[in-house]
Amino acid sequence: MKFQLPQLPYSYDALEPYFDTETMRIHHTKHHQGYTDKLNKAIEGTKLSNEPIEHILREVSKHSISLRNNAGGYFNHRLFWNILSPNGGGEPEKGSEIQKAIAQKYSDFDNFKKSFKEMAMNRFGSGWAWFSLYEPTNDLFISSTPNQDNPLMDDLVEFPGIPVLGLDLWEHAYYLKFQNRRADYIDAFFQLVDWKTVERNLETARRVASMA
């Protein structure tokens, strides 16, 4: 098997009381495992089985809908788990690259959070909200995509980029605890975001962009 379900960098109950244990367990062992298995099945025996996930995503329109959904699901959840931490929340450290990048574009953190929440609230149905680097200008931007699409699918999405932070807006991510209260779920998410990891993602994205 080419792609493997990544282990979570914390236990299923570590994100309580914001994200509940049961949701984390089902989300990881059923949903993310399902995307991973179906992705592997879709690429089995094809030349894609030797390609990094980012390359598959960037040319995803050449392939089946199933590959698009499952490659997206695999990548999106991997990013999502990594930017969460029991020690997360709060604001990026003053003077850090991510703090400066947010301040430059959104003037302050609260304004960024408000814009991100608005984008996440306005996604109709299932999808994701993103904070990404737009490679040609090195600019950060907020966007949202339906289903398991993401900004790396640059031949499909309206606003392409390299995501540094993503929020799962599928009901499977929050319904057990929050039911229809997506706004409360988004607030809980911000209590868990590990800004140091988001900053590392930004550094990696800038490196990738500078090589393109």
Cβ contact 121:182 at 8 Å? yes
CB of 76 to Mn ion, least distance (A): 7
Report the Cα–Cα distance between both ends of the chain, in Å, rounded: 29
Q: In what order do the strands lie in the sheet with 162-168?
A: 139-146, 127-134, 162-168
Nearer to Mn ion, 35 or 112 (CB): 35
Nearer to Mn ion, 121 or 209 (CB): 121
CB of 6 to Mn ion, least distance (A): 14
C-alpha 123/C-alpha 173 separation (Å) is: 14
CB of 130 to Mn ion, least distance (A): 14
CB of 173 to Mn ion, least distance (A): 5
C-alpha 105/C-alpha 205 separation (Å) is: 17
Q: Which residues pair with 131 in a beta bridge?
A: 142, 165
Nearer to Mn ion, 27 or 117 (CB): 27
Nearer to Mn ion, 92 or 127 (CB): 127
Residue with the shortest CB distance to Mn ion: 168
Nearer to Mn ion, 78 or 196 (CB): 78
CB of 176 to Mn ion, least distance (A): 13
Cβ contact 30:7 at 8 Å? no
C-alpha 2/C-alpha 209 separation (Å) is: 26
Residues that bind Mn ion (CB under 5 A): 31, 168, 170, 173
